[in-house]
Amino acid sequence: MVMTGQADGSGATDGASRPEGVDVVGVGACGLPSLGPETLRLVEEADVVIGGERHLAMIERRPGQLLVPWPSPLLPRLRTLLEEVGAGRLVVLASGDPLVSGIGTTLVRELGADAVRVHPAVSSVALARARMGWSAEGSDVVTLVGRDVDRLRRDLAPRARIVVLTSGDDAPTRIASLLVDEGYAASRLTVLGDLGTPVESRTDGLAASWDGRPAPRLHLVCIECASPPDRSARSLVPGLGDTAYENDGQLTKRIVRAAALAHLAPQPGDVMWDLGAGAGSVGIEFARQHPRNEVHSVERDPERAARIHRNARALGVPGLEVVEASSLDAVGSLPRPDAVFIGGGAGAELIDACWSALRPGGRLVVHGVTVETEVLLHEARGRLGGSMSRLAVEDLDTIGSLHGWKPARAIVQWSVEKPVTQTSSSSETHV
């Protein structure tokens, strides 16, 4: 493939697009008969057709037309493949809607939206909702294609209806086991196989008694979560109970954590640094706010780093990255953040490094428990602005046969938002 623009020496291109563009054609389960006349003509007149073996087997090859199967592994070799097939008329075949966990999404990311024309068929998600009688607004979609099954834990809730895109014939069994583990043993599972074909199948059952039979190669799973589950459900609102986390005492407690997340203000797709992460609670709850959020938890202690991994998986965000290093050593290699939380080990150099890296409009929150850290935060607020609060929490405790209030160590919280626009003088001082 010939890219427009010139290489900048780093391997990137200035405008990664094909002269002819790429047509991505979604094919229904019944094959090429699902295509309309115009879309079918695109396939027939293409110089090159790329697709899986199943899709390519549907095509009656014409002289001069090149049929190319996807390489394995796909992503590392995709750009090379597109360069090798040349600049003629290229059609990519995909299943259903290519933008639902499909190759269309990957090609748009690689080539840009202007270089990719998508021609969707009815997606498997739409067919599944039709078979179940579920509305789009009354159900959710979770993809486990190429992802850890623990990703599903985030979306479980009483009475939730979830369409799960899967891979592997053991996916329903793994999902049933996870539901039981999360207290949703009474949830109903429906496995829909080969949707839209003459051999379409449906298997219903309960998570607790799922028999483990292999699913059809092309299938998805619909879940009707039990109501209520047999243990307390986890909310997506910041401030999970402290018992939700495995910890050694280095845990940002529930009320303080909720306050920190209010100032960190997660938005969909945000990148967040959790520095001195301890048990990882602040970063984990930031990640739980939206599936596209990207969190990098930095913890220098190996045992605590391993604990963060376990907590992240248990709470449905297995994609959270744990960096085992000191915060100051790690920040130079992390992607630019929209939000930063320093829960421990704050110092002037670390604060300045975080402020410099923070995107305009980004949020920085720092907690301190010592007088020395409090003085540091007062000085930082004087330079950079923001607000400070002293959070003192008291919990009811027993005193013999009576009750009284037991105070926890007070937390000083400094929070600041980086200005969206900055004058040249402020940029020289603070960035």
Question: 22-121 belongs to which homologous superfamily?
Answer: Tetrapyrrole methylase, N-terminal domain (3.40.1010.10)
Tokens 């094919």 map to which residue?
Answer: 27
Tokens representing 409 are 């160590």
CB 177 within 8 A of CB 150: no
First to last CA, the chain: 41
Question: Who contacts 340 (Cβ-Cβ below 8 Å, separation ≥6)?
Answer: 272, 273, 275, 354, 357, 358, 362, 363, 364, 365
For 294, half-sphere exposure in the C-beta direction (CA atoms, 13 angstrom radius) is 8
Residue 248 zone, left/alpha/beta (φ > 0; ψ -120 to 50; rest): alpha
Alpha helices (H) along 315-406: 327-330, 348-357, 371-384
Question: Who contacts 223 (Cβ-Cβ below 8 Å, separation ≥6)?
Answer: 160, 161, 162, 164, 175, 179, 187, 188, 189
Write the class of the CATH domain 125-224: alpha beta
Predicted confidence at residue 5, as pLDDT, reads: 31
CA 284, 286, 289, 294 dihedral sign is negative
CB 70 within 8 A of CB 24: no
Domain 242-430 has CATH 3.40.50.1820: no
Predicted confidence at residue 76, as pLDDT, reads: 86
CA 32, 35, 36, 37 dihedral sign is negative
Measured CA to CA in angstroms, residue 57 lies from 54, 244, 324 at distances of: 5, 50, 48
Q: CA 281 to CA 287: how far, in whole Å?
A: 10
Q: What is the pLDDT along the chain (431 residues), one digit of tens a residue?
A: 323 233 333 333 333 455 578 999 999 877 888 888 999 999 999 999 999 998 999 888 788 899 999 988 888 888 889 888 877 899 999 989 999 888 999 999 988 999 999 999 999 999 999 999 999 999 999 999 989 999 999 999 999 999 999 989 999 999 999 999 999 999 999 999 999 888 999 999 999 999 988 999 889 999 999 987 778 889 999 999 999 999 999 999 999 999 999 999 999 999 999 999 999 999 999 999 999 999 999 999 999 999 999 999 999 999 999 999 999 999 999 999 999 999 988 999 999 999 999 999 999 999 999 999 999 999 999 999 999 999 999 999 999 999 999 999 999 999 999 999 755 444 444 43
Tokens 């007149």 map to which residue?
Answer: 45
Tokens representing 322 are 């744990």
State yes or no: cis peptide before 268, omega within 30 of 0: no
Going from N- to C-terminal start, the domains of the chain cover: 22-121, 125-224, 242-430
